[in-house]
């Protein structure tokens, strides 16, 4: 099996295509790196690059991206709707295949340390890589953004970086480096227009109100479809799977007397998450992604 680590750097540039192209080119210059996606958002003035590599190449690709962003982006000139504190703003590493979340924490530490040392950019470790509990949440790390953090990092102990100097880089700011599980965006649409049903179910199942662990959930109206939606994010599918979320919603809809119209998966999901659902449906406790033919061929 190939070791696959995903890296999803967010850069504070979503308008100048030539800048984003140069950054992507620098990442891609590492042999073995595969660029899966580049999304430029002009309103947020931010770009999200998705790439993969093994434990070593992913580190080098991330570092080269950070270095290019430092050369090409000046936060003093940056405006956009999305909160940001660095040219390379956030840098999460995600375990996909043959690698654990803990491995990704170690990768985040190595790359973070190197960015601080060689690029003189202070680094904050966040999510699973956080060394302080409050830094698990990225919002706490980025509070005040580039302009506010520029002052706070100098004197507030709680804002001192995990790696590097206690001063922002003058143009590249600071970078949050972290590790997290793949995020699954899974929605369940209900055959009713009553938004209170979706909101009630979302509240019941989400972790923050005592529901399923590692599940975020909100209720929305789908105007055009005449339905409501329980929209969920699974932050660790190995803790709470899509099956569990679906079954929990199903139970609530039965009590509420409404039907599930359909499920939806937004974006990409890991093979293991799909196999997990299949094994649940077919009651096969022993089924794993090792039995998937393509995994043997491509892996």
**Interaction mask 76-105, a copy of itself, x per CB under 8 A:** --------------------xx--------
Site string for a copy of itself, 129-168 (x = CB under 8 A): ----------------------------------------
Both structure tokens of 268: 């990409």
- Of 150-158, 161-169, 222-230, 270-278, the window that binds a copy of itself (rule: CB under 8 A) is 270-278
Alpha-carbon gap, residue 164 to 118, rounded angstroms: 10
CA distances from residue 68 to 8, 29, 44, 78 in whole angstroms, order as listed: 15, 12, 20, 16
Question: From the list 42, 148, 170, 267, which residue makes contact with a copy of itself (rule: CB under 8 A)?
Answer: 267
Report the candidate in 269, 225, 222, 221 with the shortest Cα–Cα distance to residue 245.
269
Is the CB of 48 or the CB of 277 nearer to a copy of itself? Answer: 277
Q: How many CB atoms lie within 10 A of CB 21?
A: 12
Instruction: Using the rule CB under 8 A, give the single segment among 134-142, 160-168, 196-204, 268-276 that binds a copy of itself.
Output: 268-276
Catalytic residue among 78, 82, 169, 281: 82
Closest of 173, 178, 50 to residue 111, by C-alpha: 178
Return d(Cα 15, Cα 21) in angstroms, integer. 11
Q: Does 185 bind a copy of itself (CB under 8 A)?
A: no
Q: Does 242 bind a copy of itself (CB under 8 A)?
A: yes
Q: How far apart are CA 177 and CA 252, in angstroms?
A: 38
Distance CA(45)–CA(295), nearest Å, equals: 37
254 in contact with a copy of itself (CB under 8 A): no
Q: Give the shortest CB-34-to-a copy of itself separation in angstroms.
A: 6
Among residue numbers 21 through 60, which ones bind a copy of itself (CB under 8 A)? 34, 36, 52
What CA–CA distance (Å, rounded) separates 124 from 70?
Answer: 16
| 271 part of the interface to a copy of itself, by CB under 8 A | yes
Of 16-24, 73-81, 225-233, 261-269, the segment contacting a copy of itself by CB under 8 A is 261-269
The CA distance from 108 to 91, in Å, is 8
Of residues 208 and 285, the one with the C-beta less far from a copy of itself: 285
Q: Is 44 a catalytic residue?
A: no
* Residues forming beta bridges with residue 20, ordered by sequence position: none
Directed axis angle between helix 57-72 and helix 17-28, to 10°?
A: 150
Q: Which is nearer to a copy of itself, 239 or 277 (CB)?
A: 277
Active site residues: 82
């Amino acid at each position: 099996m190939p070791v696959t680590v995903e890296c999803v750097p967010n850069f504070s540039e979503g308008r100048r295509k030539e800048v984003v192209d140069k950054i992507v080119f620098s990442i891609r210059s590492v042999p073995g790196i595969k660029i899966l996606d580049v999304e430029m958002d002009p309103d947020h003035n931010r770009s999200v690059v998705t790439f993969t590599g093994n434990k070593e190449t992913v580190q080098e690709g991330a570092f080269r991206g950070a270095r290019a962003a430092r050369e090409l982006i000046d936060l003093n000139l940056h405006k956009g709707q999305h909160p940001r504190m660095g040219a390379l703003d956030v840098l999460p590493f995600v375990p996909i295949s043959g690698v654990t979340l803990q491995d990704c924490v170690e990768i985040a530490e190595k790359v973070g340390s190197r960015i601080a040392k060689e690029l003189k950019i202070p680094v904050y470790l966040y999510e699973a890589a956080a060394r302080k509990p409050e830094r698990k949440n990225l919002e706490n790390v980025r509070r005040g953004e580039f302009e506010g953090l520029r002052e706070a990092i100098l004197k507030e102990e709680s804002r001192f970086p995990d790696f590097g100097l206690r001063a922002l880089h003058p143009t590249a700011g600071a970078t949050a480096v972290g590790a997290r599980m793949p995020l699954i965006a899974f929605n369940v649409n209900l055959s009713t227009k009553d938004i209170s049903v979706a909101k009630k179910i979302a509240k019941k199942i989400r972790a923050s109100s005592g529901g399923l662990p590692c599940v975020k959930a909100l209720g929305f109206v789908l105007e055009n479809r005449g339905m409501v939606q329980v929209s969920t994010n699974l932050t660790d599918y190995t803790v709470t799977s899509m099956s569990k979320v679906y079954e929990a919603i199903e139970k609530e809809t039965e009590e509420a007397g409404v039907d599930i119209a359909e499920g939806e998966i937004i974006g990409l999901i890991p093979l293991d998450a799909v196999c997990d659902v299949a094994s649940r449906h077919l009651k096969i406790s022993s089924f794993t992604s090792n039995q998937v033919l393509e995994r043997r061929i491509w892996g």
